[in-house]
Structure 1
Amino acid sequence: MPDLVPGLPPEYRVRPVTADITADDTGDVHRLVAACERELFGRERTDPGRIAADFTRPGLVLESDTRLIHDRAGRLAARAWVDRRCEVDVHPAHRGRGLGGALLAWAEARAGQAGGARIVQTVPDSDTDAVALLRSRAYRPMATEWLLEFLMPEEPAVPEPPAGITVRSFRAGDGRDVHQLVEDAFDEWQQRRMGYQEWARHTVGRPAFAPAMSALAFADGQLVGAVLSLDLPDTDEGYIEQVAVRRDHRNRGIARLLLLDAFRACHRHGRRTCTLGTHSDTGALNLYLRVGMAVRYSSTVFGKDL
């Protein structure tokens, strides 16, 4: 199938992700992404659960919207998927051979065929080669993302809850209420709401989900805030996947309370660092800085009109 990604060097072959899901493909892609992260950041932060969740995005058709490039020995050298936004990764051992440019051109063409008006990709600012490639293809910055870290050489102190607020860890059966809270809170800036099953694949249904490190806040028995945490394998860090507070309970210190409660739980589970990602559209960066987090690195969301 040589036309799957035009312009590839002859020593590479290409195919889509297999539809039978792809335990093998998921593992291969995870190892590729982890190798890219170690090269760029000195550590990995993506788990197989996130890769698997991406493969099941509503609207993503594996046959037409994913591409895997293998070398002659059968090793995965690069991958891409596109569905309104796209991700392209090239293994460090295979860079400089045109694979990234070929996959990016394929992604743009596929997005156009699917009727998309714009394609979006997020790239770490320290990945100067990727930034240069996107700029050379007329991509423009749209927003900023940050990965923040909270260092915990000692157990963090947690303040008393505001009057009328109680806090406990996530329990089985909380999922749908937390989903409703998160989607309502994110309505202010996200482009679309996730259904429960899609949301759960990225959060509470993910193998790395850590209910004991996830904190929920209640007022009069009603859920008003949530912090959902992951315990990522192959790392000594906790990760905060989502933070949400109901609109009518904001500016009461609930987000700060839940974050510190989750940090303390991570510390008690042997973690000495906790990380969190945020986006400039949310306006939440200053909240995390005030809690005591610091920016580890930044990324730029690039977009191109098709």
Structure 2
Amino acid sequence: MTITVRDFRPADAKAVADLRRAAVPWLISTPRGVAWRVRTAPAAQRHRLFVAELDGWVVGAAHSHMLHDSTVPGQAAATPQVHPDHRGRGFGGALLTAAEEHLYAVGATHLFAWVADEPGALSFAEHRGYRRTRPGRILRLDLTAAGPRPLPSALPPGVRLCTGADFGADPHPLFLADAEATADEPGDVASDAMTYEDWLLHTWEHPDTDLGLTSVVTVDGELAAYTLAATDGLGRYYSAMTGTRRAYRGKGLARLAKTDSLHRARDAGCTEAFTGNDAANAPMLAINLALGYRPSAGEWRCVRELGQE
């Protein structure tokens, strides 16, 4: 068996999306989304998507990129994903080696990866020199069964529910809310240098972002909370980010936004909803469990210092 690792080609988009759905079913992955991410990657990200081939078939892939939206220099990320039918045959290791070599060459000092909370995956990561830093939780909600909890019969005075599409003429207020909430999220590397231009291209205009299912809560005309939604057209819905501006926290507005978005998703034909949380994000975990989400999988954030053996 010969393992071939090479750079992504546009013709690989469907194959990469298919294998990612098989390997990581809770993530939204579409051919147009895969191609968009590669085509629009900012230069500072030094992004490369590696694919692993077997007999002409794409059986694995790994996005590798610098975390350019952080003020901490030298931070990078790469997570190899291999089709379940082809694991344990060296594809993951070959992809990770390619990603490590590329990122080290462009100045990365620390490489972060997500690793499934399973003995085989964790052993693979530890053998490669990665150490665990923090756990993450994947939650799932079956939208065909009980579905999301009911919306309140009446909204508090001054509170209004909108969609992302309502901000089409000027999405800047949503960017400000997203940047503020993202900077406050628990994690290893703060995303504290996000620019409006990058956000427009890679969040607002991303082909997997569903503005009709994105819900926004305003209070007296000011944007207070939101849920960014992503869908794949195959029944999957993912909460890409839920947040509340600091001045409006503790009022149940994030839960209201997420509840509204889930109702929109069910009405649009989505059958299952996924979301991911850092295990230390107790407030968001509590909201998701109250909405009916249940644990589906676990992950560990792991890191390796590049250039050290």
CA distance in 2, matches of 1:148, 1:25: 29
Give the SS at the match of 1:79: strand
The question of whether the paired residues in 1 share the 8 Å contact of 2:161 and 2:217 is answered with yes
The question of whether the paired residues in 1 share the 8 Å contact of 2:182 and 2:191 is answered with no
Deviation at 1:86, TM superposition (A): 0.3
CA distance in 1, matches of 2:210, 2:274: 14
CA distance in 2, matches of 1:81, 1:263: 29
Aligned residue number for residue 248 of structure 1: 247
1:57 matched to 2:25? The reply is no
Give the SS at the match of 2:134: strand
Of 150, 154, 178, the residue aligned with 1:157 is 150
Aligned residue number for residue 18 of structure 2: 31
CA distance in 2, matches of 1:277, 1:295: 10
Alignment deviations for residues 214-254 of structure 1 (CA, whole Å, 9 cap, x no partner): 211112211111112223222x2322211111100000110
Alignment deviations for residues 55-105 of structure 1 (CA, whole Å, 9 cap, x no partner): 24333445xx43223234x22233223220002122334333322222223
Give the SS at the match of 1:132: helix
Return structure 1 stretches of 4+ with deviation > 4 angstroms: none
Tell me: CA distance 1:174–1:278, structure 2 relative to 1, closer, same or farther (3 Å): farther
Q: Which amino acid aligns with 2:30?
A: D
CA RMSD of aligned residues (A): 2.5
Aligned residue number for residue 129 of structure 1: 120
Aligned residue number for residue 181 of structure 2: 185
Aligned residue number for residue 274 of structure 2: 275
Alignment deviations for residues 196-228 of structure 1 (CA, whole Å, 9 cap, x no partner): 343344433233332232211112211111112
Aligned residue number for residue 13 of structure 1: 4
Q: Which amino acid aligns with 2:140?
A: E
Q: Which amino acid aligns with 2:183?
A: D
Tell me: CA distance 1:81–1:237, structure 2 relative to 1, closer, same or farther (3 Å): closer
Aligned residue number for residue 229 of structure 2: 229
1:67 matched to 2:63? The reply is no
CA distance in 2, matches of 1:211, 1:146: 25
Tell me: CA distance 1:140–1:252, structure 2 relative to 1, closer, same or farther (3 Å): same
Gaps of 5+ in 1: 1-8
Deviation at 1:173, TM superposition (A): 2.3
Greater mean deviation of Cα atoms: 137-146 or 149-158: 149-158
Of 128, 136, 140, the residue aligned with 1:145 is 136
The question of whether the paired residues in 2 share the 8 Å contact of 1:50 and 1:202 is answered with no
The question of whether the paired residues in 1 share the 8 Å contact of 2:115 and 2:299 is answered with yes
Aligned length: 284
Tell me: CA distance 1:125–1:291, structure 2 relative to 1, closer, same or farther (3 Å): same
> What TM-score do the two structures reach when normalised by structure 1?
0.82
Alignment deviations for residues 83-129 of structure 1 (CA, whole Å, 9 cap, x no partner): 20002122334333322222223322333222222111102214x43
Give the SS at the match of 1:203: helix
Q: Which amino acid aligns with 2:16?
A: V
Write out aligned runs for 1:88-127 (5 A): 88-126=80-118
CA distance in 2, matches of 1:269, 1:81: 30
Give the SS at the match of 1:105: helix
Over the matched positions of the two proteins, sequence identity in percent amounts to 23
Tell me: CA distance 1:151–1:219, structure 2 relative to 1, closer, same or farther (3 Å): same
